[in-house]
Amino acid sequence: MKTVWITPALLVAAVVMLAGMNLAVPEGAPLHASAYVISLAGKYLSYAILALSLDLVWGYAGILSLGHGAFFALGGYAMGMHLMREIGARGVYGNARLPDFMVFLGWHDLPWYWSGFDHFAFAAVMAPLVPALLALVFGWFAFRARVGGVYLSIMTQALTYALMLAFFRNDMGFGGNNGMTDFKDVLGLPLQADATRVLLMLLSALILAGAYALCCRIVSSRFGKVLVAIRESEARTRFLAYRPESYKLHVWVVSAAIAGIGGALYVAQVGIINPSEFAPANSIEAVIWVAVGGRATLAGAILGAVLVNLGKTWFTGLLPEAWLYALGFLFILTTLFLPRGIIGLFSWRPGSRNPAAPAVTAAAREVTG
């Protein structure tokens, strides 16, 4: 087994073990994994998918996105719309045609853009497709205009902030400030049942492993080597007859689609989606996950997302008001003393060859050969 597969393999093994500890170990036993633990694990795996998608564009293409949470949230809203339609007549107002919040606001008809979301397959397609389409439009204009660096980062942050303000509006038809919640079931399975929670957690682990395999294939291909070359010197890559904007747009769209899938899994397990998921702070936090775990490693992004959120759960239970300071301090420590992230501790020692050097050398050969 290659070293890069150790982190995802360990995560999948841990998830399978948690599933067994929930279903096979009697409740009340010391080794029983509660429904709360299962839900937390599923949430961490969803976050890991978001971190993986961000590392694909930041670590390998040099695109620092401060708005990737927007793609994550859009995927979550797509799943939330389906789960709201699944409630049907079991809602507070007993209206099978309209979600409760629409009845409360006095709506009489379902908006056209809600059509199709009563089918799970449609929602499953929309979860990656809507973020990908937004990324395509945004990226087409931004990359063709050769916007990069800090300017692009600010634009991505402005994008997610604008979406947050838009989704706060009641007349948008997405629940306004309260968002969507009180979901009942998915594909006929009650969301509050332990077996359903375990199934969603296992599904999240499998999709994370699949997304990781896809990202590994992308970065190890000729396409990925050109991405690294663009990251190292976009001007030189363009001089050698490559079109960096095309490569960046393609990987940007793929990354957005992966983030949308993570958002859909997140909503199904957390049970709520509201405009706060668009908050720029969430996207910045995802950048910290990648930096702490190890940028341009893929596995490091997964590791960082899980460990930082595990620490967040523990730390906020003790000193909730101090968590943001702790997170900032962690980022500073990582920048100063662990520039390659946590995973760099296992792949690099002082005096050894830079592990990124082979990738950069291969990229240089691709664009010059």
| pLDDT tens-digit readout, 198-226 | 999 999 999 999 999 999 999 999 999 99
pLDDT at 121 over 60: yes
Over residues 164-195, the pLDDT tens digits come to 999 999 999 999 999 999 999 999 999 999 99
pLDDT at 293 over 90: yes
Over residues 230-268, the pLDDT tens digits come to 999 999 999 999 999 999 999 999 999 999 999 999 999
Over residues 134-172, the pLDDT tens digits come to 999 999 999 999 999 999 999 999 999 999 999 999 999
pLDDT at 58 over 70: yes
- pLDDT for 350 equals 38
pLDDT at 132 over 90: yes
- pLDDT for 362 equals 46
Quick one: average pLDDT of 12-19? 91
User: Residue 49's closest CA among 304, 259, 214?
Assistant: 259
- pLDDT for 320 equals 86
- pLDDT for 267 equals 98
pLDDT band at 5 (very low <50, low <70, confident <90, very high): low
Over residues 38-52, the pLDDT tens digits come to 999 999 999 999 999
- pLDDT for 347 equals 63
pLDDT band at 4 (very low <50, low <70, confident <90, very high): low
- pLDDT for 344 equals 84
Over residues 326-366, the pLDDT tens digits come to 999 999 999 899 889 998 887 644 333 444 444 444 444 54
pLDDT band at 11 (very low <50, low <70, confident <90, very high): confident
Average pLDDT over the chain reads 91
- pLDDT for 363 equals 46
- pLDDT for 355 equals 41
What is the value of pTM for the model shown?
A: 0.93
